[in-house]
């Protein structure tokens, strides 16, 4: 049940000075940060990370967005971490993302607006959608020795 997922705080989060604010939401939920680093994504790396989106109409805008500044990459661990993290992140479009979620609280743009302008929807954060994607993305972004094993207080309390 305890699993790892991959999270990236996108360039808009870093540029807006929201790293701490957003990271805090995962810590508040008792999730463990097992790996953490800053990386400036290249176009080649973006194509590997977003391999399922490369041929889509929105990909050019997405590539421009994800390569425009450094991102914070994280491995987040916990019970049903993939699903729990996606719940905290909220749905892809900030306009319809529920209040209380990261995308619902810190952004508001709609697909209608960004698609017309041919830009990416700036939604602050990436999180793996399922276990298979999480496994692929963790392997792409992190080496084994960059992922750490330690006990959080939350784990000690539930033992």
Q: Rule CB under 5 A: which residues touch Mg ion?
A: 129
Contacting ligand CDP within 67-86 (CB under 6 A): none
Query: What is the rounded distance in angstroms from the CA atom of residue 102 to the CA atom of residue 125?
Result: 8
CA 45 to chain centroid, in Å, comes to 16
Which C-beta is closer to ligand CDP: that of 50 or that of 152? 50
* Residues whose CB is less than 8 angstroms from the CB of residue 140 and which lie 6 or more positions away in sequence, other chains included: 48, 49
Pick the closest to residue 95 from 126, 118, 122, 128 (CA basis): 122
Query: What is the rounded distance in angstroms from the CA atom of residue 122 to the CA atom of residue 107?
Result: 8
Active site residue 157: no
Q: Using CB distances below 5 to 8 A depending on partner kind, what does residue 3 bind out of ligand CDP, Mg ion, none?
A: none
108, 109, 126, 154: the catalytic one is 126
Q: Using CB distances below 5 to 8 A depending on partner kind, what does residue 120 bind out of Mg ion, ligand CDP, none?
A: ligand CDP
What's 98's DSSP letter? P
Contacting ligand CDP within 129-148 (CB under 6 A): 129
Q: Which of 68, 115, 146, 155 lies at the binding interface for ligand CDP (CB under 6 A)?
A: 115
Long-range own/partner contacts, residues 16-25 (CB < 8 A, 24 or more apart): 16/106, 18/106, 18/124, 19/72, 21/106, 22/102, 22/106, 22/124, 22/125, 23/72, 23/74, 25/88, 25/102
Q: Which of 27, 67, 87, 111 lies at the binding interface for ligand CDP (CB under 6 A)?
A: 111
Is 123 a binding residue for ligand CDP by CB under 6 A? The answer is yes
Which C-beta is closer to Mg ion: that of 105 or that of 129? 129
CB of 94 to ligand CDP, least distance (A): 10
Catalytic center residues: 126
Applying CB under 6 A, which residues contact ligand CDP? Answer: 53, 58, 61-62, 92, 111, 114-115, 120-121, 123, 126, 129
């Amino acid at each position: 049940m305890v699993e790892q997922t991959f999270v990236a705080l996108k360039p808009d989060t870093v540029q807006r000075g929201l790293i701490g604010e957003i990271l805090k939401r995962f810590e508040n939920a008792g999730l463990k940060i097992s790996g953490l680093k800053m990386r400036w994504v290249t176009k080649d790396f973006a194509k590997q990370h977003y391999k399922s989106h490369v041929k889509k109409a929105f990909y050019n805008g997405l590539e421009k967005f994800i390569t425009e500044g450094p991102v914070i990459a994280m491995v987040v661990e916990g019970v049903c971490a993939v699903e729990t993290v996606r719940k905290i992140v909220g749905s892809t479009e900030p306009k319809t993302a529920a209040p209380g979620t990261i995308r619902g609280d810190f952004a508001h743009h709609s697909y209608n607006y960004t698609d017309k302008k041919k830009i990416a929807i700036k939604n602050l954060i990436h999180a793996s959608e399922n276990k298979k994607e999480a496994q692929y993305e963790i392997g792409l972004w992190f080496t084994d020795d960059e992922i750490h094993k330690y006990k959080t207080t939350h784990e000690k309390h539930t033992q």
